[in-house]
């Protein structure tokens, strides 16, 4: 056995390097405990940068795996690898050469084009992951990173609404208001125009909770569905909304789509986002239904 660490792999790209790294990692996972260091070197756009990378790999006796779509830089990194005896693996070259020979179309040679064209898809994936990791009060210290924050009592519909908004590219966090538990300080430290308090009528809330406790076993839940206790819980939630200056949204007897439309309409009036589509996914449909 050799105690010496294996040579590193440098994933080089004119874009983010994510595609090349995914391929390398997909192979490395087949070799458990391989201990190979992988470093992504992205946004490579000049021959000087290519030369520096070759020198770095030579000094470390490392391997370069690249996904350069620019033919000049692709050729340069391959040539310099041979000249300085650095192992270079061109992950794109053979396929790119085949397409150049086969298709009667000039390539665009634009690094990161796939992600750029599919940015809405990647936005949606990022937003869903963020929302699920900030559900039900998780990670309150990162509330500032959310675009929309929902808060309200248990069974007011925070989670389904959060996930619905995330499906359209919004990073959403939700914070439950629990009797006897103080809301996190972070809830009152962020821009209140991003925070929406969900109000729901007592009778509907009790109905939702009764459905929930029907699946519970050996659990005393009188206060959870007691009318007086529920009304007091709603009253205290409204006090929290008022304290924080949050926008109150009445979700009683409303479908998720309608509530989402109301929230997004307010967000579009309050904020401008770089290239983000601010309309509700149901923009224009509610008016059509009423006609």
Q: What is the CATH number of the domain that holds 42?
A: 3.40.50
Question: Mean pLDDT, to the nearest integer, of 138-161?
Answer: 91
Question: Mean pLDDT, to the nearest integer, of 58-67?
Answer: 95
What is the per-residue pLDDT for 46? 95
Long-range pairs for 76-83 at CB < 8 Å and ≥24 separation? Answer: 76/47, 76/50, 77/12, 77/50, 77/53, 80/50, 80/51, 80/54, 81/54
115: in domain: no
288: in domain: no
65: in domain: yes
95: in domain: yes
Question: Mean pLDDT, to the nearest integer, of 69-78?
Answer: 91
CATH code for position 269: 3.40.50.300
Task: Tell me the pLDDT of the chain averaged across its residues.
Answer: 84
Question: Is 99 in the same domain as 216?
Answer: no
Question: Is 67 in the same domain as 146?
Answer: no
Question: Is 132 in the same domain as 30?
Answer: no
With a pLDDT cut of 70, the percent of the chain lying above it is 83
Question: Is 176 in the same domain as 229?
Answer: yes
1: in domain: no
| Alpha carbon distance 156, 150 (integer Å) | 10
Question: Is 73 in the same domain as 131?
Answer: no
Give the residue from 53, 32, 56, 33 showing the smallest Cα distance to 43: 53
Q: How many domains does the chain have?
A: 2
Tens of pLDDT, residues 154-193: 999 999 999 999 888 889 999 999 999 999 999 999 999 9
Which residues, 6+ apart, have CB-to-CB distance to 218 below 8 Å? none
What is the per-residue pLDDT for 54? 97
Question: Is 144 in the same domain as 267?
Answer: yes
pLDDT class of 115 with cuts at 50, 70, 90: low
What is the per-residue pLDDT for 108? 58
Give the residue from 66, 75, 10, 74 showing the smallest Cα distance to 37: 10
pLDDT at 33 over 90: no
Question: Is 94 in the same domain as 151?
Answer: no
Question: Is 134 in the same domain as 267?
Answer: yes
| Alpha carbon distance 239, 199 (integer Å) | 11
What is the per-residue pLDDT for 167? 85
Q: What HEC string does the chain produce?
A: CCCCCCCCEEEECCCCCHHHHHHHHHHHCCCCCCCCCEEEECCCCCHHHHHHHHHHHHHHCCEEEECCCCHHHHHHHHHHHHHCCCEEEECCHHHHHHHHHHCCCCCCCCCCHHHHHCHHHHHHHHHHHHHHHCHHHCCHHHHHHCCEEEEEECCCCHHHHHHHHHCCCCCEEEEEECCCCCCCHHHHCCCHHHEEEEECCHHHHHHHHHHHHCCCCCCCCHHHHCHHHHHHHHHHHHHHHHHHCCEEEECCCCCHHHHHHHHHHHHHHHCCCCCCCCCCCCCCHHHHHHC
283: in domain: no
* pTM of the predicted structure, to 2 decimals: 0.56
Last residue of a domain, one of 45, 68, 103: 103
Q: Is the CB of residue 9 less than 8 Å from the CB of residue 24? A: yes
What is the per-residue pLDDT for 278? 43
Question: Is 264 in the same domain as 134?
Answer: yes
Question: Mean pLDDT, to the nearest integer, of 203-225?
Answer: 78
Q: Which residue has the higher pLDDT, 21 or 78?
A: 78
Question: Is 149 in the same domain as 189?
Answer: yes
282: in domain: no
Question: Is 161 in the same domain as 97?
Answer: no
What's the length of the chain?
A: 291
- What is the domain extent for residue 249? 124-277
What is the per-residue pLDDT for 88? 96
Question: Is 145 in the same domain as 247?
Answer: yes
287: in domain: no
Q: Which residue has the higher pLDDT, 105 or 101?
A: 101
Comparing 108-117, 201-210, 280-289, the range with the smallest average pLDDT is: 280-289
Last residue of a domain, one of 69, 103, 137: 103
With a pLDDT cut of 90, the percent of the chain lying above it is 49
Which residues, 6+ apart, have CB-to-CB distance to 73 below 8 Å? 14, 44, 45, 47, 50
pLDDT at 52 over 80: yes
Question: Mean pLDDT, to the nearest integer, of 186-214?
Answer: 91
């Amino acid at each position: 056995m050799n105690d010496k660490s294996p040579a590193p792999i440098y994933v080089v790209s004119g874009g983010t390097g994510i595609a090349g790294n995914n391929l390398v990692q997909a192979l490395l996972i087949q070799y458990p405990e391989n201990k190979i260091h992988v470093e992504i070197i992205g946004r490579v756009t000049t021959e000087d940068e290519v030369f520096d990378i070759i020198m770095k790999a030579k000094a470390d006796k490392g391997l370069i795996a690249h996904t350069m779509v620019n033919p000049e830089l692709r050729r340069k990194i391959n040539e310099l690898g041979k000249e300085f005896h650095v192992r270079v693996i061109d992950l794109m070259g053979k396929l790119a050469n085949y397409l150049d020979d086969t298709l009667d179309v000039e390539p665009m040679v634009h690094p990161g084009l796939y992600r750029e064209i599919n940015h809405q898809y990647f936005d949606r994936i990022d937003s869903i992951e963020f929302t699920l990791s900030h559900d039900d009060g998780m990670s309150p210290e990162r509330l500032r990173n959310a675009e929309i924050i929902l808060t309200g009592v248990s069974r007011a519909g925070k989670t389904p609404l959060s996930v619905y908004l995330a499906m359209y590219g919004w990073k959403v966090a939700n914070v439950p208001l629990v009797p006897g538990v103080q809301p996190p300080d972070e809830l009152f430290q962020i821009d209140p125009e991003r925070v929406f308090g969900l109000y729901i009528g007592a009778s509907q809330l009790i109905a939702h909770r009764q459905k929930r406790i029907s699946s519970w076993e050996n659990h005393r839940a009188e206060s959870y569905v007691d009318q007086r206790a529920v009304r007091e819980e709603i009253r205290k939630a409204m006090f929290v909304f008022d304290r924080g200056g949050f926008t109150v949204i009445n979700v009683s007897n409303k479908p998720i789509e309608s509530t989402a439309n109301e929230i997004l309409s307010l967000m579009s009036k309050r904020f401008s986002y770089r290239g983000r589509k601010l309309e509700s996914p149901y923009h224009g449909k509610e008016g059509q239904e009423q006609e």
